[in-house]
Structure 1
Amino acid sequence: MRAMIQTSYGPTEVIVAQEIAKPLPGNKEILIRIHAAKVGLSDVAFRKGNPFMIKLIYGLSRPRFAIGGCELAGEIEAVGRDVIHFKPGDHVLGMSPKNFGAYAEYKCLCEVSPLAVIPSNIAFEEAVGICDGGATALTFLRDKAKLRKGQKVLINGASGAVGIYAVQLAKYYGAEVTGVCSGANEGLVIKAGADFVIDYTKEDFTKSKRAYDVVFDAVGKSSFSACKRVLTNKGMYLSTAFKLSTILQMMWTSLFKGKRAVFATAGLMQNKENLTFLMELARNGTLNAVIDRRYPLELLPDAHKYVETERKKGNVIITL
Structure 2
Amino acid sequence: MRAAVVTRYGAPDRVVIQNVSVPKPRAGHVLVRVHATAVTAGNARIRAARFPPGFGVLARPAIGFLGPRVRTLGGTLSGVVEQVGPGVIDFEPGDEVAGMTGTRMRSHAELAVAPIRSLARKPPGVTHADAAGILFGGSTALYFLRDRAKVTAGESVLVNGAAGSVGSTAVQLARHLGATVTAVTSDSNRDLVLRLGATSAIDYRTTAATEIGARFDVVFDAVGNISRSDGLPLLSDSGRLVLAVASLAGSVLARGRVIVGVTPERADDLSFLLGLVATGELDAVTRVVGGLEDAPEAHRVVDSGRKVGNLVILPNGGTGSGDGRDVV
Per the normalisation by structure 1, the TM-score is 0.92
- The match for 1:124 is 128
**What root-mean-square deviation, in Å, do the aligned CA atoms of Structure 1 and Structure 2 show?**
1.5
Alignment of 1:142-153 (within 5 A): 142-153=146-157
The residue aligned with 1:204 is 208
2:111 aligned to 86, 101, 106, which one? 106
Identity rate of aligned residues, in percent? 37
- Is contact 1:198-1:205 (8 Å) kept? no
Q: 3-state SS of the aligned residue for 1:248?
A: helix
**Partner residue of 1:296 out of 291, 297, 301:** 291
Distance in 1 separating the partners of 2:251 and 2:27: 40
Pairs within 5 Å for 1:24-173: 24-51=24-51, 52=56, 53-112=58-117, 114-173=118-177
1:262 matched residue in structure 2: 259
Whole-angstrom CA distance in 1 between matches of 2:299 and 2:125: 29
Q: Which amino acid aligns with 2:208?
A: D
SS at 2:249's partner residue? helix
Query: Structure 1: how far apart are the matches of 2:224 and 2:287?
Result: 20
The whole-number CA distance in structure 2 between the counterparts of 1:136 and 1:151 is 20
In the TM superposition, what is the alpha-carbon distance from 1:281 to its structure 2 partner? 1.3
Structure 1 unpaired stretches of 5+: 255-259
Contact 2:101 2:115 in 1 (8 A): no
- Residue by residue over 1:251-277, the C-alpha shift from the partner in whole angstroms, topping out at 9 and shown as x without a partner, is xx43xxxxx2221122xx111111111
Runs of 4+ in 1 over 6 A off after TM superposition: none
Q: How does 1:206-285 map to 2 (within 5 A)?
A: 206-250=210-254, 253-254=255-256, 260-266=257-263, 269-285=264-280
Q: Is the 8 A contact 1:133 1:165 kept in 2?
A: yes
SS where residue 302 of structure 2 aligns?
A: helix
Q: Following TM superposition, by how much is the alpha carbon of 1:57 offset from its aligned partner in structure 2, in angstroms? A: 2.1
**Which residue matches 2:323?**
none
The equivalent residue for 2:318 is none
- For 2:106, give the aligned amino acid: G
Q: Tell me, in whole angstroms, the C-alpha distance in 1 between the residues paired with 2:260 and 2:242.
A: 6
Q: Which amino acid aligns with 1:284?
A: T
**What do residues 11-62 of structure 1 show as CA deviations (whole Å, max 9, x unaligned)?**
2232211112222333543110001111121111111223213323222343
Residue 257 of structure 1 corresponds to: none
Report what 1:309 is aligned to.
304
Q: Equivalents in 2 of 1:282, 1:100: separation in Å?
A: 24
> What amino acid is aligned across from residue 298 of structure 1 in structure 2?
E
User: Is this contact kept in 1: 2:129–2:288, CA < 8 A?
Assistant: no
1:248 positional shift: 3.2
Offset, 1:206: 2.6
Q: What is the aligned residue count? A: 310
CA contact 2:209–2:226 (8 Å) conserved in 1: no
Which stretch of the first structure deviates more once superposed, 291-300 or 151-160? 291-300
- Secondary structure of the residue that 1:4 maps to in structure 2? strand
The aligned residue for residue 190 of structure 1 is 194
Which stretch shows the higher mean deviation, 80-89 or 207-216?
80-89
In the alignment, is the contact (CA less than 8 A) between 2:209 and 2:230 conserved in 1?
no
Conserved? CA contact 2:228–2:258, under 8 Å: yes
Q: Secondary structure at the residue paired with 1:265?
A: coil
Cα deviation, residue 184, structure 1? 0.8
* Range moving further from structure 2, 4-13 or 305-314: 4-13
Q: What runs of 5+ residues in structure 2 fail to find an aligned partner?
A: 316-328
User: What are the superposed Cα offsets for residues 163-199 of structure 1, whole Å, 9 maximum, x if unpaired?
Assistant: 1000110011000100011111111001100111111
Distance (Å, rounded) in 1 between the aligned partners of 2:10 and 2:208: 34
Q: Which amino acid aligns with 2:154?
A: G
